Amino acid sequence: MKRLYIVIVMILMIPVMLFAGDPSRKGTTGAEQLLIPVGARGIATGGSFLANISGLEAIYYNPAGLDLGHSSEAMFSYMSYIADINVSYFAVGTKLGDLGSFAFSFKTLDFGDIPITTVENPDGTGADYSPTFLTAGLSYSKVITDRVSVGVNAKIIQETIINTSATGFALDFGVQYRFGNNLAIAAAVNNVGSNMIYSGADLQSSTEIPGTQPGSSGGVFQAVAEEFQIPSYFELSSSYRFALNEQNNLDIATRFRNNNVAEDQLAVGLEYNFMQAFFIRGGYDMLLQNNADQIYGPTFGAGLNYGFAEGMGINFDYAYRTVQEFPQPNHIFTVKLFLE
């Protein structure tokens, strides 16, 4: 089994060796919505709990934790992002016995109404449009032994701006390894997939054909967009639980992220829980280079877990993330329903 664990980690590291980049390539990728985190617990702890995150919230951070959650779950998360953009996320999943756990997730961005401007009407035509950016995923996870769990998340990325769109496909892989009840480590590779390219009717325009006689039919000019990569990254994480007593626990975690076209990142996070019912969280995710370009500051949050019937419960989580250069911070609200 130890050899199996080594092989799994080596497989997860292959995409890093193939796609690792540097900050000089910043701005060369698209589909940046893939980097917007979801779930109040994950955001409040700086995205550092890859090693012990479980249930539906694990889909984004490390799909290996999906099978460690409740037997059935439903999750909705909402974030007031930046520049009046809102992010909504929905996921539902269930365990199928020894087969493992399956889940479906859906994330969409709300940009609001944007005035349409043209060359002839630079101040606006009077009409509005709203881009559609969405990501839909199908996830699978399985606990292989009492120490090891693995998972994969396949997702479709769709971006549409009026009559022009781009579609891509990506995979996330993850593994968790537990050393008893306190120490855990994890590795994950996210957004390994196809390039994307915009196409559609709005890239076409009518034009006169040079050299033709007056009154001749015009032609159609087709602008060809350039392909772009999606932002891939590799992560390593560890977490440790301090069992203060039977009712109080404190979890501490760290996470290292290697980005393919940006600075590497280091995150730390902690979570205090009282009787697995009340939670207080904090975290910080920082750039290891060009730290002055850091957009987000410290994160904080709290949660409440309440069982309202035998085998059924509900979980409320809230997270707060400071943002540089924008007047409003991020507010994240998450609600989860679960069956044991």
Pairing state between β 199-200 and 164-179: antiparallel
Q: Report how far residue 250's alpha carbon sits from residue 39's, in angstroms, rounded to the nearest whole number.
A: 20
Check residue 126 and give its pLDDT. Answer: 85
Residue 216's pLDDT is 67
Give the span between the Cα atoms of 79 and 299, in whole angstroms: 13
Rounded Cα–Cα distance for residues 270 and 252 (Å): 4
Q: What's the confidence (pLDDT) of residue 24?
A: 61
Which residues, 6 or more positions from 95, have their beta carbon under 8 angstroms from its beta carbon? 67, 71, 72, 101
Domain 2-113+131-196+230-339, what fold? Porin (2.40.160)
Res 226: pLDDT: 87
Q: Report pLDDT for 186.
A: 94
pLDDT at 19: 43
In this prediction, residue 18 carries a pLDDT of 45
Report the chain's C-alpha Rg in angstroms: 23
Tell me, what's the pLDDT at 5?
A: 47
Residue 28 confidence (pLDDT): 75
Res 281: pLDDT: 97
* Per-residue confidence (pLDDT) for residue 1, from 0 to 100: 53
Cβ contact 208:218 at 8 Å = yes
Q: Where are the domains of the chain?
A: 2-113+131-196+230-339
Residues of the chain below pLDDT 70: 1-26, 211-219
Tell me the pTM.
0.86
List, in order, residues 6 or more apart from 159 with CB less than 8 Å away: 30, 31, 33, 131, 132, 133, 165, 166, 167, 196, 198
The whole-angstrom separation of Cα 186 and Cα 213 is 69
